[in-house]
């Protein structure tokens, strides 16, 4: 038999246990909006019983532990999906910038009624229009060799050259901003790796006493998820509850120490890549925003830039081949048409800009009114070029635009798909680890009522003790 | 399934984002009339539109070139009409002078008339193209005046020297179609565009034939006029008639090319429209659907979010 004082103790332990339940519920409610928080449960068990002649008698309940409700499988799935979504998001950003840099957009004058036969006046904004205008200007010049047409041809060529320069400059900007985004990813990743090593240490310290470092584990999980957005990582559980992190086959965090960190390096001509800082090993990254950035930069973007350069180079060669062998109306020659050799430096010879009369569009001397070379230049528009895989200038360019469009379109749909996957996974994780306010309120009521009941026990025992004491005075 | 409280807000935010971006895209399609604006919207349609736009641009230029050639052809036609008048009158004079009743005074007055014709011819040969300010009948050496005259002491033209050539500029008026309305004043070779005043193919040599007629009129050499000049001038008349007819053919060709360019422009516009324009009815229906979905998401969201056990715990 427990006796009154032991029963009072039982009531007191029960009050403590139920109070812990209310506290944990409060903690869950407080963190309902905290990112990465996993709900906690108090584990209450019956205290050891005492053998009596009439059988074992209970001694109440104690709160054994406060545990997180987490699914490690879902956590590791989320990490791996994060790498994929990080990869495509960075591709999307990079390709979107490239599309803006190319500035090839359609604009219309208004909606077309499907019942009327009128058509929308569609115009494009970028290099394609400039190419068309250039060839048209020379066609007009071949039809009528007037001062105005000569001026128009030179102006069209200047606009074309400037557009080439701008596109190239914009591509360079995109490239350098991708490089800085890579640098900033690497420095964030290093910060996170340092944090993870630190958290491993703290978790070890906290749990070595036998408890659970729930909040620290949440924080570390959040760090791992953020890191996996930047690069795909492999994790393994180490001693003392630590998590070891490996990137591209190189161990970076082992237990509580940061073994190595990441570093960008110039692999030549401004092409930044990632390696380990002290080991210097080139890392083959397989996902995450770093690899997405590198792939977009060295894949689609580099391809575009080289196509545009090739286009400009071929145009310079072809137009100069015709114009430079011609004569101006006064029989003179010697002024090249396009200067430069690619999209970055293409320009129109300033001598011709200052005096379009010196344009050399006559095939021979003493043939001042001959415009046959202007016709030849205008006919380059439809001539397939061996340097452009036997495509025309506009065909090559339009193909380049379409290939960028496809790459971005693909990245867009990958991002959409990945968002759906991530959202599904986080809903699944929410269903296990997330806080539900209704549920917590119900739990609170459960603990509250249990607390009330135990308090009632104290009152009852108190009354009994009073009765016992009263027996003596009577 | 257990649902975390935040799952509502997260999924609602996702839905709102998706529906808002769908509405934005559809709205911009409706307002611009284009289903494709950026290459990523529809790469294939974008490429098709750009290809078609390049063709349209070339086609517009063909139309503009045709119009340039039509104006030039009209100027040439004006000159041809006056040359036609001159050669007819010269033929008449050759016939009249061959008659037996003419006194030398009559012949001299014919000679004066022919002399004036020669001056008119020089002026016609040196006509400038109003669009470019270049000589119209000098071939491609069009910054040179067509003919330079040699005169005797009394100021009469005794001969002309041609400063141009018999090459002509070809102009593109359609895909794989070039033409030229230019007429060189002189063509002493048996090939190329036929010369207006001198042409080896037809035997025309208007300046020298008129100078010879004038000289024979002045010297009263009637037999030379009937035997030689009348026949020669006939060749000139025939040559001018050929040129008038040829100019007419060219004008017809230009009109046909112009009609072709115009119908091709309509075809291309329709094709561009098919590739990149919005089907307004379909897009409006889709926009309505998106709006309805958005409203439903807002309403259901606000209903669910306002519900909580807390409402009942009082």
Across chain A, which has 474 residues, the per-10-residue mean pLDDT values are 86 94 95 91 92 88 92 93 95 95 81 41 82 95 92 95 95 95 96 96 90 91 95 91 91 92 88 87 87 94 94 96 92 93 95 94 84 94 93 94 95 94 92 92 94 95 92 71
Give the one of A112, A375, A412 whose C-beta lies nearest to B172's C-beta.
Answer: A375
Determine, for residues A139 and B4 on separate chains, whether the beta-carbon distance falls below 8 Å.
no
Q: Do A120 and B57 lie within an 8 Å CB cutoff?
A: no
Q: Residue A454 sits in which domain range?
A: 4-69+437-473
Record: contact A402-B43, CB cut-off 8 A: yes
Same domain, A195 and A317: yes
pLDDT of residue A109: 61
Same domain, A18 and A164: no
The confidence score (pLDDT) of residue A407 equals 95
Q: Which of A368, A372, A434 is the closest to B7 by Cβ?
A: A434
Query: How far does CA B129 lie from the centroid of its chain?
Result: 15
Q: If we measure between CA atoms, which residue out of B127, B168, B141, B130 comes closest to residue A375? A: B168
The predicted pLDDT at position A346 comes to 96
pLDDT greater than 90 at residue B10: no
Contact between B172 and A102 using a beta-carbon 8 Å cutoff? no
CA distance B61 to chain A (A): 6
Residues on chain B touching A412 (C-beta within 8 angstroms): 40
Residue in chain B closest to A402 (alpha carbons) equals B43
Residues in chain B with CB shorter than 8 Å from the CB of A398 are 47, 50-51, 54
Q: In angstroms, what separates the C-alpha of B27 from chain A's closest C-alpha?
A: 11
Best interface-test mutation with B: which of A143, A439, A444 has the largest number of B CBs within 10 A?
A143
Between A118-122, B215-219, B223-227, the lowest mean confidence (pLDDT) is in A118-122
Neighbouring CB atoms inside 10 A of A119's CB total 19
Residues A24, A138: one domain?
no
Q: Which of A144, A371, A394 sits opposite B54 (nearest CB)?
A: A394
Q: CB of A434 within 8 Å of any CB in chain B?
A: yes
- CA-based nearest residue in chain B for residue A102: B39
- CB A375 to CB B170 under 8 A? yes
What is the secondary structure of A191-246 as a DSSP string? HHHHHHHHHHHHHHHHHTTT---HHHHHHHHHHHHHHHHHS-EEEEE-GGG-EEEE
Is any Cβ of chain B less than 8 angstroms from the Cβ of A241?
A: no
C-alpha A333, offset from chain centre: 55
Pair of tokens at residue A82: 């994060």
Asked if residue B197 has pLDDT above 80, the reply is: yes
- Is residue A111 domain-resident? no
Do A298 and A249 lie in a common domain? Answer: yes
For residue A118, is it within any domain? no
Say yes or no: A393 and A462 in one domain.
no
Give the integer Cα–Cα distance in Å for A282 and A342. Answer: 33
**A173 and A64, same domain (yes or no):** no
The predicted structure's pLDDT at residue B265: 93
pLDDT of residue A114: 39
Cβ pair B14:A423 closer than 8 A = yes
Question: Computed from CA positions of residues A271, A274, A280, A283, in that sequence, does the dihedral angle turn out positive or negative?
Answer: negative
Q: Residue A121 has what pLDDT?
A: 63
pLDDT tens across B12-27, in order?
Answer: 888 888 899 999 999 9
Give A-chain residues touching B68 at CB under 8 angstroms.
140, 143-144
- Contact between B141 and B165 under an 8 Å Cβ cutoff? The reply is yes
Put simply, the chain A residues between 349 and 388 with a CB less than 8 A from any chain B CB are 362, 366-372, 375, 378-379, 381-382
Q: Do A227 and A199 share a structural domain?
A: yes
Total domains in the fold of chain A: 2
| Closest alpha carbon to A66 in A22, A29, A101, A110 | A22
The region, left, alpha or beta by phi > 0 then psi within -120 to 50, assigned to residue A210 is left
Could you write out the DSSP letters of every residue in A100-150?
HHHT--EE-SSPPPSSS------EE-SHHHHHHHHHHHHHHHHH---HHHH
- Nearest Cβ partner for B50 among A114, A128, A382: A128
DSSP class per residue in A17-33: HHHHHHHHHHHHHHTTT
Please give the radius of gyration of chain B, using alpha carbons only, rounded to the nearest integer: 38
pLDDT, tens only, A237-286: 988 889 999 998 899 999 999 999 999 999 888 889 999 988 787 888 88
Tell me, what's the pLDDT at B146?
85
pTM of structure: 0.87
Task: Supply the pLDDT for residue A131.
Answer: 94
d(CA B179, CA A98): 43
Q: Do A370 and B10 touch (CB under 8 A)?
A: no
Say yes or no for a CB contact (<8 Å) between B139 and A362: no
Confidence grade of residue B102 (pLDDT, cut at 50, 70, 90): confident
Residue A432 is assigned to a structural domain of this protein: no
Pairing state between β B204-205 and A347-348: unpaired
State whether A427 and B11 contact (CB < 8 Å).
yes
Q: How does pLDDT run across B265-285, given as a tens digit for each residue? A: 999 999 998 888 888 899 999
Structure tokens at A234: 């492999």
CATH class given for the domain over B56-269: mainly alpha
CB contact under 8 A, A441 and B61: no
- Inter-chain CB proximity A368 and B38 less than 8 Å: no
Outline where DSSP puts E strands in A296-368. Answer: 338-339, 347-348
Q: Are residues A215 and A344 in the same domain?
A: yes
- Which residues 86-105 of chain A have a CB within 8 Å of chain B? 95-96, 99, 102, 104-105
pLDDT tens digit string along A304-320? 999 999 999 999 999 99
Q: In A, which residues are within 8 Å of B282 by CB distance?
A: 114
Residue A260: predicted pLDDT = 92
Terminal Cα-to-Cα distance of chain B (whole angstroms): 28
Q: Do residue A301 and residue A276 come from a single domain?
A: yes
Q: Rg for chain A (alpha carbons), in Å?
A: 38
CA distances from A238 to A183, A191, A261, B65 (A): 30, 21, 19, 80
Please report the pLDDT score of residue B132 as a whole number: 86
Whether B103 has a pLDDT exceeding 90, the answer reads no
* B88: Cβ contacts below 8 Å, ≥ 6 apart: B237
Chain A residues with beta carbon closer than 8 angstroms to that of B170: 142, 372, 375
Q: What is the pLDDT of residue A165?
A: 96
Same domain, yes or no, for A81 and A63? no
Min Cα–Cα distance to chain B from A280, Å? 39
Q: What is the dihedral of CA B268, B274, B276, B279, to 10 degrees?
A: 140
pLDDT for the residue A473? 64
pLDDT at B313: 76
Among chain A residues, the shortest Cα distance to B67 is held by A143
Distance of residue B153 Cα from the nearest chain A Cα, in angstroms: 32
What end-to-end distance do the CA atoms of chain A give, in Å? 26
The answer on A212 and A175 residing in a single domain is yes
**A331 and A459 assigned to the same domain:** no
Nearest to A112 among B33, B64, B169 (CB): B33
Residue A38 inside a domain? The answer is yes
Q: What's the rounded Cα separation, in Å, for the pair A325 and A57?
A: 113
Name chain A contacts of B129, Cβ cutoff 8 Å. Answer: 144
């Amino acid at each position: 038999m427990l006796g009154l004082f032991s029963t009072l103790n039982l009531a007191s332990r029960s009050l403590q246990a139920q109070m812990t339940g209310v506290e944990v519920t409060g903690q869950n409610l407080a963190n309902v909006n905290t990112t990465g928080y996993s709900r906690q449960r108090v584990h209450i068990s019956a205290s050891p019983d005492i053998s009596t002649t009439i059988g074992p008698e209970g001694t109440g309940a104690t709160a054994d532990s406060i545990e997180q409700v987490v699914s490690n499988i879902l956590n590791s799935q989320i990490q791996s999906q994060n790498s994929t979504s990080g990869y495509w998001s960075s591709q999307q950003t990079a390709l979107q910038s490239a599309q803006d840099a190319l500035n090839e957009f359609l604009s219309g004058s208004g909606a077309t009624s499907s019942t009327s036969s009128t058509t929308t006046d569609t115009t494009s904004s970028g290099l394609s229009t400039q190419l068309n205008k250039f060839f048209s200007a020379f066609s007009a010049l071949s039809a009528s060799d007037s001062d105005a047409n000569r001026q128009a041809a030179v102006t069209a060529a200047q606009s074309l050259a400037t557009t080439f320069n701008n596109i190239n400059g914009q591509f360079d900007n995109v490239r350098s901003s991708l490089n800085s985004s890579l640098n900033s990813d690497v420095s964030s990743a290093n910060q996170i790796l340092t944090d993870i090593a630190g958290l491993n240490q703290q978790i070890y310290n906290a749990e070595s006493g036998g408890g659970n470092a729930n909040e620290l584990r949440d924080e570390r999980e959040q760090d791992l998820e953020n890191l996996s957005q930047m690069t795909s990582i492999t994790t393994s559980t180490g001693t003392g509850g630590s998590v070891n992190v490996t990137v591209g086959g190189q161990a970076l965090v082992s237990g509580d120490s940061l073994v190595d960190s990441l570093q960008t390096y110039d692999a030549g001509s401004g092409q930044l890549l990632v390696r380990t800082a002290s080991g210097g090993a080139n890392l083959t990254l397989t996902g995450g925003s770093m690899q997405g950035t590198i792939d977009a930069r060295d894949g689609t973007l580099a391809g575009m830039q080289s196509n545009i350069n090739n286009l400009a180079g071929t145009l310079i060669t072809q137009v100069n081949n015709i114009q430079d062998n011609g004569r101006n109306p006064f029989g003179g020659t010697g002024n090249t048409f396009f200067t430069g050799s690619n999209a970055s430096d293409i320009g129109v010879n300033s001598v011709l800009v200052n005096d379009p009369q010196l344009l050399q569009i006559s095939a021979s001397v003493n043939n001042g009114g001959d415009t046959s070379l202007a016709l030849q230049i205008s006919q380059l528009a439809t001539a397939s070029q061996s340097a452009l895989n036997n495509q025309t200038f506009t065909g090559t360019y339009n193909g380049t635009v379409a290939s960028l469009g496809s790459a971005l379109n693909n990245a867009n749909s990958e991002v959409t798909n990945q968002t759906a996957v991530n959202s599904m996974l986080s809903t699944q994780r929410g269903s296990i680890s997330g806080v539900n306010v209704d549920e917590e309120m119900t739990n609170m009521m459960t603990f509250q009522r249990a607390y009330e009941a135990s308090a009632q026990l104290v009152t009852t025992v108190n009354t009994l003790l009073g009765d016992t004491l009263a027996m003596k005075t009577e | 399934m257990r649902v975390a409280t935040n799952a509502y807000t997260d999924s609602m935010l996702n839905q709102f984002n998706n529906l808002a971006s769908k509405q934005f895209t559809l709205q911009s399609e409706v307002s611009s009339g284009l289903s494709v604006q950026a290459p990523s919207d529809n790469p294939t349609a974008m490429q098709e539109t750009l290809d078609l736009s390049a063709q349209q641009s070339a086609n517009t230029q063909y139309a503009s070139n045709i119009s340039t050639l039509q104006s030039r052809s009209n100027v040439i036609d004006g000159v041809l009409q006056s040359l036609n008048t001159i050669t007819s009158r010269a033929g008449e004079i050759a016939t009249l002078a061959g008659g037996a009743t003419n006194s030398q005074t009559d012949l001299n007055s014919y000679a004066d008339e022919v002399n004036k014709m020669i001056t008119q011819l020089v002026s016609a040969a040196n006509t400038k193209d109003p669009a470019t300010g270049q000589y119209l009948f000098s071939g491609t050496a069009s910054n040179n005046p067509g003919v330079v005259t040699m005169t005797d002491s009394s100021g009469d033209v005794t001969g002309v020297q041609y400063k141009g050539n018999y090459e002509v500029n070809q102009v593109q008026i359609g895909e794989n179609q070039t033409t030229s309305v230019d007429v060189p004043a002189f063509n002493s070779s048996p090939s190329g565009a036929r010369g207006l005043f001198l042409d080896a193919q037809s035997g025309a040599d208007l300046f020298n034939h008129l100078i010879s007629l004038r000289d024979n009129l002045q010297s009263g050499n009637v037999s030379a006029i009937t035997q030689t000049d009348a026949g020669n001038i006939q060749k000139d008349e025939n040559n001018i008639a050929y040129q008038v007819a040829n100019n007419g053919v060219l004008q017809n060709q230009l009109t046909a090319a112009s009609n072709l360019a115009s119908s091709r422009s309509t075809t291309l516009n329709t094709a561009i429209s098919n590739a990149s324009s919005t089907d307004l009815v379909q897009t409006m229906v889709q926009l309505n659907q998106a709006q309805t979905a958005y409203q439903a998401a807002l309403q259901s969201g606000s209903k669910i979010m306002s519900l909580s056990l807390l409402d009942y715990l009082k």
